Amino acid sequence: MSTQSIDSKDLQISDVFKDFYRVPDYQREYVWGESDRKGERGDEVDKFLDDIYRELDAADGKEPPEYFIGTIVVCKGEDGVFDLIDGQQRMTTSFVTLCAIRDALEDLDADIPDTLTSQIAAASTDWKGDTVGRMRLDLQYEDAQGILAKYGEGEGFDAPAEGTRSITNLANAYKAVREFLAAELSDDRQKIRLFYGYFTNKVKLIRIETPNVSRALKIFETINDRGVGLDAMDLLKNLLFMHADATQFDALKSVWKDLTQTLYDAGEKPLRFLRYFIMANYSSDEKLREDEIYGWLSSHAKETGHENDPVGFADKLKAAATAYAYFLDGRGPDGKDVRAVANSRKLGGSAIKQHFILYLAGRHLSSPMFARLAREIENLLCVWLIAGVPAKDYERQIAKAATKLQSVSTQEDLDDFISEYISSQKRRHRDDFHRWMATMHTWDLRQYRLRYLLAKITQHVEIEARGSDGLEDLGHFLDTRNDIEHIYPQTPTDAASEEFGEIGEDEDIVERLGNLLWVEQAINRAAGNKPYSKKLPHYDSSSFILARSQGTIKLNGVNDQITQTVKRLRPETEWNVEAIERRQNWMADRAMEVWEVPAKAESPDEAAE
């Protein structure tokens, strides 16, 4: 390229990783997945993977559309390696994703595609004829300490997970990808290959190559100074202004500015919001794609009224965007805290938002009615996710339900809606829900979802024993000072192994749900890798009834509420394979209560569903 030209290329991931890149030592660290001050891990990697997977999954057997992940800015060095000036977070995450896919396939004894191997590392020969083997991506800042090469070389979970900021964040990123492959793709080699094919052939980015670093930094500054995230709204904005009277321009500009700023501040994709808004208010077609929104609006002007009253339509969009931002923050449409909305965010993570369609469709309800709706949605969402219902299937149900929800106005209407659209779905999937709860391992779920499950069951027992006063906030239980305890340790001492006895057919029994207990971190650390008999005294000091009653029933009276609750628990004086099975079956049965899932058919008609 010339000394002045800027070269821009639209590349799929497979083409991107045909070249070599380095992140210069003056760049900042890898920060995706970094924990905040509250100790909660960032969800950028989860969102990156989930957004890509949703595009593939929505294709339903047809050729899926391409998916754009952004722009990178590079400058080629004299050795032919690209200096990565902007975009290192998504490039590093993409590289780690390729490493994790390779490692997952290897663990499944599946063939590793040659293309995948070469996208991670390859050799290059310079003009002198010297051949050098290297990783496709190299982090040169001091904080990285060569850790990325560990993942490239296949060390995976054996790579250091603590030390510098980047080492910790990269370990979190790799773990997040492996959790995704296990939970969303069931560690199925064919599904993983399909995802790999889509990821490398349909996921694309724009690579901007500049002749020197100073030009690259200027472009980086320009990109990051612009509101690039909101450009997708321009067509709709033009459509409204086209139908507005000149006297309405100022009002429309003001509303539009507030609308777009609300979405920007919330970190939400404008097109996703628009799609959900349409599905919540006008259309039950769950197949409406984001790239079809403008065409849909153009052909449904009578329904939306945007041609006759563009300002009114913009006002409606703005009000919906405000409510949507509240939902993202765990609140109801009026801005007040709604625990079930916050809980659903902890359950679904950052990517699963289809249930927001129902929130939008029901935002006209009174506060008590909306709170009840949100509670029912949380329960159903949990059933769908644990039972493994595909996103395209439950989105279809959501789209149908939203049409009906728009007309709900009375408590009787809401009762009928819940019975027809929510209770019926829970009945339909209850057997799969119970089966998965009874057989689940830790890798069957994303880590945040596993924590939600355990905290929710623990909370349920506390409320049953003590009443709901002061205990309704799941955040109290999900506090970072609490953690997952493996009753039979992941790395047991010889004494713990001897006391536990034979592992049995399931070599991964330690990762069964029945072997997990939700306790305070201090108790988790104190219990350590000890035998069960030595752990029980530590559990006794927990503030949670479920943990305190792990070994024996501790009665507080004769017929008081706490005593009645404790009698329903599953204490085990000894810990072995059979005890884990019994406890997991108990947890599966109790989960039916926690998420209000009917335990059995209530009528011949229901049994036939």
The model's pLDDT over 127-140, given as tens digits with 9 standing for 90+, comes to: 777 788 899 999 98
- What pLDDT score was predicted for residue 212? 82
> Considering Cα of 289, then 292, then 293, then 299, what sign does the dihedral take?
negative
Q: Is the pLDDT of residue 152 over 90?
A: yes
Q: Say how far apart CA 478 and CA 294 lie, in whole Å.
A: 41
Question: Based on the domain organization, do 287 and 303 belong to the same domain?
Answer: yes
Question: Based on the domain organization, do 52 and 180 belong to the same domain?
Answer: yes
What's the distance, CA 344 to chain centroid?
11
40, 150, 353 from 172: Cα distances, Å: 12, 14, 23
The DSSP secondary-structure symbol of 420 reads: I
Q: Decide if 599 is inside a domain.
A: no
Q: Decide if 454 is inside a domain.
A: yes
Q: Is the pLDDT of residue 603 over 80?
A: no
**Domain total for the chain?**
3
Per-residue pLDDT tens digits for 521-578 = 999 999 999 999 999 999 999 999 999 999 987 665 555 788 888 888 889 999 999 9
The predicted model gives 177-181 an average pLDDT of 95
Question: Based on the domain organization, do 433 and 493 belong to the same domain?
Answer: no
Question: Based on the domain organization, do 399 and 251 belong to the same domain?
Answer: yes
Q: Which helix (H) or strand (E) holds 428?
A: helix 424-439
- What pLDDT score was predicted for residue 406? 93
Q: Is the pLDDT of residue 233 over 80?
A: no
Question: Based on the domain organization, do 236 and 331 belong to the same domain?
Answer: yes
Q: Is the pLDDT of residue 226 over 50?
A: no
Q: Of 205, 226, 247, which residue is a domain's last?
A: 226
Q: Decide if 1 is inside a domain.
A: no
Q: Decide if 600 is inside a domain.
A: no
pLDDT band for position 332 (50/70/90)? very high
Q: Say how far apart CA 97 and CA 382 lie, in whole Å.
A: 27
Per-residue pLDDT tens digits for 393-443 = 999 999 999 999 999 999 999 999 999 999 999 999 999 999 999 999 999
Question: Based on the domain organization, do 184 and 235 belong to the same domain?
Answer: no
Residue count of the chain, please give it: 609
- What pLDDT score was predicted for residue 563? 81
Q: Of 197, 226, 255, which residue is a domain's last?
A: 226
Q: Decide if 76 is inside a domain.
A: yes
- What pLDDT score was predicted for residue 232? 46
Q: Say how far apart CA 525 and CA 539 lie, in whole Å.
A: 11
- Which pair of tokens denotes residue 376? 């029912």
Which residue range is the domain that position 62 belongs to? Answer: 7-226
Q: Decide if 99 is inside a domain.
A: yes
Q: Say how far apart CA 210 and CA 73 lie, in whole Å.
A: 8
149, 506, 585 from 512: Cα distances, Å: 32, 9, 11
Q: Say how far apart CA 319 and CA 309 lie, in whole Å.
A: 16
Q: Decide if 2 is inside a domain.
A: no
Question: Based on the domain organization, do 539 and 487 belong to the same domain?
Answer: yes
For the chain, what percent of residues have pLDDT higher than 90?
Answer: 67
Q: Of 389, 409, 439, which residue is a domain's last?
A: 439
Question: Based on the domain organization, do 292 and 432 belong to the same domain?
Answer: yes
Question: Based on the domain organization, do 433 and 447 belong to the same domain?
Answer: no
Average pLDDT taken over every residue of the chain = 89
Question: Based on the domain organization, do 429 and 559 belong to the same domain?
Answer: no
Q: Is the pLDDT of residue 267 over 90?
A: no
The predicted model gives 13-37 an average pLDDT of 84
Q: Which of 331, 69, 53 is nearest to 177 (CA)?
A: 53
Q: Is the pLDDT of residue 36 over 70?
A: no
Question: Based on the domain organization, do 504 and 432 belong to the same domain?
Answer: no
Question: Based on the domain organization, do 175 and 309 belong to the same domain?
Answer: no
Q: Decide if 606 is inside a domain.
A: no
pLDDT band for position 228 (50/70/90)? very low
Q: Is the pLDDT of residue 29 over 90?
A: no
- What pLDDT score was predicted for residue 556? 58
